[in-house]
Structure 1
Amino acid sequence: MKKGIATVAQLDTFDEFIDARSPAEFEEDHIPGAISCPVLDNEQRAIVGTIYKQQSAFEARRIGAAMVAENIARHLRERFQDKPKDWRPLVYCWRGGQRSGSFVTWLRLIGWDACQLEGGYKNWRRMVVTELETLPQRFDLRVLCGATGSGKTRVLEQLAALGAQVLDLEDLAAHKGSVLGALPDRPQPTQKSFETRLYQKLHGFDPARPVFVEAESRKIGRIHLPEGLIAHMRASACVAIEAARDARIEFLVRDYDYLGRDVPDLQNRIEFLRGLQSNEVLERWKELARQRDLHTLYGEFIDLHYDPLYHRSQNRNFARFPEAPSFACDDLTPAGIRELAQRILAAQA
C-alpha cells in the first residue's frame, strides 16, 4: 500500500477519524467516531461546484484552493494544537480525492503519521452495505412477537438491563414502528446513517450468545430494514408475548402520553389510516382525540386496526411463530415488564 494511504480494513489502527467533507455530507452519514473538519463548508462547496460547471476546472481549483487552505489552517489552529507527535489520524472525503489529500499533506508536513482513506467514504459505505447482506446471519436471533401495546420495546430494554444482547431497531431508527410511532423529540436518521448504526451494533455482539430483537415489518417509519436482516429475522426462533387487552391500553396511554398533548398531530396521524378504515371510523377517532379520550381511542385502535393486522402477519411473516413459547402478562407497568423479561430470559437458558 502506498505510503500515507490506508484501507477500510485498517480503521482500527488509527487514533482519530477526520471527515473532510461538507457538514451536510457529514450529517447524512459518517464513519462512527469521526469528527467533522470540512475543507469546504456547504456554501463553499456549492460555489466551487458551480464554477466548475459554468467556467472551468482550473477556475474552480484556483478559487477552491484558497478556501481549502483557510479552512485547514483554522482546523489546525483550533482542533489539533494539543495532539502529540505520535498522533495518527485517518482523513477521508467522498472518494479519497483532493479534499482529504490536501488535509493529509499538511498533517504529514507537520510530522504526524496521517493517512488518507483509500476510496474515501464511498468505500466505507460499500463495505457497510456488503456486510449487512450476511452479517445478521452470524447471530442466533430471538424475535419478540406480540400485538401493539404489548411493551415489546420496554421488554427489550429490561432484557438488556439483565445482561442479554439486544438489537433495538426502533431505537436505532428513532421510531416506534406504528402509525403513532414518530417521536416528538427525535427525528429519524437518514437511511445511510441507520445502516451504519446497525452495522456498528451488530459488530459489537458475541455470536456465541443469542440476540433479542423485536418483530418488525420491512419499514420502521421511513427507514427500510436491510433484506439480509429481515430475511434472517423471519426465519429465526420467536418468543410470543400475550398481554391482556386492558394492560395494553394502559401501557399505550402511558407510553404515548405525548400524543394527548397535541391533538392536531394525533388527528393527522389518524389520517394515515384513510383507506384502511371507513371514513366514519376515522371521524369518530378524530373526535375521541379531540376529547382526549385516549383509553377509548387506543382500545378501538387495538380492536379494529392493530390486532387484525397482527394476527394476519405473524404466521405469514415469521415461519417459526407457531412453535414460539408464549408468555402471558396482565401487568405492563415497569415492575410487570421487568418480571416478564426475567421469565423470558430464564426460559432461554
Structure 2
Amino acid sequence: MSLEVTEDISAAALTRYDMLIDTRSPGEFAEDHLPGAVNLPVLSDEERAEVGTIYVQDDRFKARRVGGAYVARNVAHHLQTALADKPGGFRPLVYCWRGGMRSGAMATILSQVGWRTTVLTGGYRTYRREVVRRLYDQTLDHRFVLLDGHTGSAKTEVLGRLGEAGFQILDLEGLAAHRGSLFGALPGRPQPSQKLFESRLLGVLDALDPARVVVAEAESSKIGQRMIPPALWTRLAEAPRIELVAEAADRARYLATAYADVVADRKALDDIFARLPIRISAERLASWQAMAEQGALAELAQAIMVLHYDPAYDRSRKRHDRALLGAVSLVPDHPASLVEAVDRVAQMVGELDASALGRDP
C-alpha cells in the first residue's frame, strides 16, 4: 500500500499527478473544483443528503454504516469504469471537502489496488483558501493591455484572433460565460458560480508568462453576475488601452449578427428591456418590440446603443481615465477591415512585448 498526503496545490505540484480526483458529490463539484479535476463521487447528492439526515436526526453509527455501503458501491463502480484502464504506475491526487472520510475511503482502496495515491490535506478548503489569498489578498505580477471601444466594435473577436496569433490573452467573458452586457447572457449556458469563475481565472493566470504582455477586454468590475476579484481588477484598472473605433451604423450591423440568438428569444428580449437602467417610454418600448418583430435588428441595435450603451461607455471611460496607447479604426462586419485591425493591434502589442522582454521591436 502506498498512501501519501500533501498540502501543496501549486500549479507545478499538481502536474505531478496523473489525475485529480474530486470525491465530493456532483452538486459540490459543479459549484467549484480544482482546475482539471475529475468528479468521481463516493456519494451522490441524494446519498449525501440521506446520510447527513440520518447522522443528525437518527443515529451516527447507522449513518456511517449506510454511508459506507454507498461509498463501497460507488468506488467499485469507478474502478470498473473511469479507472478501469489505469496502469500500475497510475498516480492520483484525491480530495473531498476537507480531506476527511470521503477522500480517505477512496484513497485507501486505490492504494490497496497498488496505485501511489496522495490525499490533499484539508481537501477542497485548502485549495479555496489559496484562491482567496492570491486573488483577494495579493498583487498579481501580470502586465495588461486592454482592448477598449464602444459596444459592437468587435473587441471579443479581435481578442480571439490575437490569441490564435500567439499573443497572451485573458478572455474574461469566456471564463464568465457572459458577453458583458445586458444582452450578454449565453443561451443554454449559465454562468459559473463566483468560486468556479475564480478557479478558472486563476488556472488561466497561472498558465500565462508574467514577463509578457497580456491582452484583455476593458470590462466593468462585474461580468454579468460574476465579480472580477480585487487582485485582477486593480491591475486592469491601471492598464493602458488600445481603442477600437467604428461608426455607429457599422457597429449596429455587427451587433445584429452577434446578438441574433438573443433577439430571437422574445421573452428574453422583453426581460432585457425591463432591466435597462434607464427609463424608456411605452412608445419607445413598443417601437423597439416592433423592430425585433420585423427583423430590423440593426436599427434596434443602433437605437439601444445611442440611448444606453454609448453614454454608459463614455461615462466609464471618463471615470477610469486609462492611458491611451493608440486608436484603431475598423468596420467590424467587414472581413478585410477586421484583419487589418487585428494586424495593427498585434503590432502595438508586439512592440510592448518586445519592450517588456528587453528586445528590439
What TM-score range do you get, normalising by the shorter chain?
A: over 0.9
Residue in 2 aligned with 1:330?
Answer: 331
Residue in 2 aligned with 1:342?
Answer: 343
User: What is the letter of the counterpart of residue 99 of structure 1?
Assistant: R
The alpha-carbon distance between structure 1 residues 231 and 277, as it changes in their structure 2 partners (threshold 3 A), is: farther
Cα RMSD for the two superposed structures: 1.8
Select the residue among 228, 231, 237 that pairs with 1:228.
231
Cα distance in 1 for residues equivalent to 2:229 and 2:316 = 19
What are the ranges of 5 or more consecutive residues in structure 2 without an aligned counterpart? 352-361
User: What is the letter of the counterpart of residue 318 of structure 2?
Assistant: N
Residue in 2 aligned with 1:22?
Answer: 25
Tell me if 1:76 matches 2:79: yes
3-state SS of 2:81 partner: helix
Residue in 2 aligned with 1:320?
Answer: 322
User: What is the letter of the counterpart of residue 330 of structure 1?
Assistant: V
Q: Where do residues 50-89 of structure 1 align in structure 2 (5 Å cutoff)?
A: 50-89=53-92
Contact conserved, 2:3 with 2:107, CA < 8 A, in 1?
no
Aligned length: 346
Cα distance in 1 for residues equivalent to 2:201 and 2:180 = 16
Q: Report Cα offsets for 1:104-137 as digits up to 9, x if no partner.
A: 1111122211111111011111111212236773
Residue in 1 aligned with 2:4?
Answer: 4
What is the TM-score of this pair, normalised by structure 1? 0.94
Q: Report Cα offsets for 1:215-269 as digits up to 9, x if no partner.
A: 1111111111111111210111111111111210111011112234223322221
Q: Report Cα offsets for 1:276-330 as digits up to 9, x if no partner.
A: 434443333223223322122111111111111111111212x324x34111223
What is the TM-score of this pair, normalised by structure 2? 0.91
Contact conserved, 1:270 with 1:285, CA < 8 A, in 2?
no
The alpha-carbon distance between structure 1 residues 280 and 137, as it changes in their structure 2 partners (threshold 3 A), is: farther
3-state SS of 2:216 partner: strand
Contact conserved, 1:271 with 1:282, CA < 8 A, in 2?
no
Residue in 2 aligned with 1:212?
Answer: 215
Contact conserved, 2:3 with 2:117, CA < 8 A, in 1?
no
Q: Where do residues 126-141 of structure 1 align in structure 2 (5 Å cutoff)?
A: 126-133=129-136, 137-141=140-144
Residue in 2 aligned with 1:33?
Answer: 36
Tell me if 1:145 matches 2:148: yes
The alpha carbon displacement at 1:347 in A equals: 2.2
3-state SS of 1:213 partner: strand
Cα distance in 1 for residues equivalent to 2:165 and 2:138 = 25
Cα distance in 2 for residues equivalent to 1:156 and 1:108 = 46
The alpha-carbon distance between structure 1 residues 197 and 60, as it changes in their structure 2 partners (threshold 3 A), is: same
Residue in 1 aligned with 2:357?
Answer: none
3-state SS of 2:150 partner: coil
Q: Which runs of 4+ in 1 moved over 6 A?
A: none
